[in-house]
Structure 1
Amino acid sequence: MRVLYPGSFDPLTNGHLDLIERGVELFGEVVVAVLHNTDKVPTFSLEKRVHQIQQSTKHLRGVEIVSFEGLTVDCAKDEKCTLILRGLRALSDFEYELQLAHTNRSLACNTETVFLATTAHHSFLSSSVVKEVAKFGGNISHLVPEIVANELKLLFNK
C-alpha cells in the first residue's frame, strides 16, 4: 500500500523522519511529497529540501520523494495514493489536521487521512523551533538529520 506524506519539510526534522520510518513499516511505501508553496519564502530551496530527504532516507526501502504544487489530493491522485499520512504532536495539531482531512475528503472522496501520533520525545519538535535554535547557535544535532544540521549551521554561520 502507498501512502502520501505531504509537507514543506523546511527543514526535515527527526520527527518527520520518524513518521517516514514508521509509515514504511505500516504501509510498505511512503511517497514524501515536498510542497512548493508560492506564498512563502522557504529557508531551503525545493531542490535542497528534496536532496536532504533523499540523503536522510537512503537507509529505507519503500520511500519515494516527489515535489508538488497545488492541492495535496491532486498529488495523491498523481502518485496513486488513496491514503494521506499526517503527524499529530498536540491537540492543537488535531484541530487543524482534522479540518484538512475533511477538506481533502470533500475534494476526493476516495482519499483517506491517517494520523500518527508523534513519538513522545519528538512531540515538541517543529521546523520553526529548529530554525530558531540554529539561528542563535544552539545545538540541533539531536533534532534533525546530520545533513540538515550541517546546512543550517552553514546558513546561519554558527
Structure 2
Amino acid sequence: MRAVYPGSFDPFTPGHFNLVERARVLFDEVVVLVAVNSAKHPGTDGEDRAAAVRAVLPVEWTSVTVAAWSGLTSTYCRRHDVAVIVRGLRNTTDLQAEYQLAAMNQSLGVPTVFLPAQPELAAVSSTAVRTLAPER
C-alpha cells in the first residue's frame, strides 16, 4: 500500500524524520509530499525544500520518495494511486485541526492514518526551529 506524508517541511525536523521512519515500516511506499503553498510564506520554494528533505533521508530507504506538489493532497493521491494520508500528532491541538482535514480528505475518498509523535519530539515544530535558527 502506498502512503503520502504531506507537509510544508519548512524545515524538515527530527519529528518529521521520525514519522517517515515509522511510516516506511507500515507501508510499502511512502511519498513525502512537500506542499507548495505561498500563503504559508515558506523560507524557500517547494523544490528547494524537497531537495533538502531528500538530502537528509538515508539512501537505503528506497521505498521513500519526495515530491513537491501544489494542490490538494487528495488530488495527488488519486493521480498517483496513493491509498492513505499519514499525519503526525504532537498534541490535542494538532488532533483538532488534523481531524477536520482528515474528514475532508475522507469525503474526497482518501483516508488518513494518524501517528502520535514520540514524546521526546512532541515539542519540536517547524515554526519553533525557524524561530530559533539563525537568519537564512
TM-score, length basis structure 2: 0.94
List, as ranges, runs of 4+ consecutive aligned residues in structure 1 with deviation greater than 2 Å.
Answer: none
SS of the aligned residue for 1:65 comes to strand
Q: How big is the shift at 1:71?
A: 0.9
Which residue in 2 is equivalent to 1:139? none
Q: How does 1:36-47 map to 2 (within 5 A)?
A: 36-47=36-47
- Whether the 8 Å contact between 2:46 and 2:69 is mirrored in structure 1 is no
- For 1:52, the equivalent position in structure 2 comes to 52
| Aligned-residue offset at 1:69 | 1.0
- Root-mean-square deviation (CA, aligned residues, Å) is 1.2
CA distance, structure 1, for counterparts of residue 42 and residue 27 of structure 2: 30
> Structure 1 unaligned runs (5+)?
136-152
- 2:86 maps to which residue? 85
| Pair member with larger Rg | 1
2:97 partner letter: Y
**Superposed CA offset, 1:39-65 (max 9, x none):** 232112212211111111133221011
Runs of at least 5 residues in structure 2 that lack an aligned partner in the other structure: none
Per mean C-alpha deviation after superposition, the further-off stretch among 18-27 and 42-51 is: 42-51
In structure 1, C-alpha distance between the alignment counterparts of 2:40 and 2:91, rounded to whole Å:
24
The superposition leaves residues 70-97 of structure 1 with CA deviations (integer Å, 9 ceiling, x where unpaired) of: 1110011122111000000001110111
Q: How many residues align?
A: 135
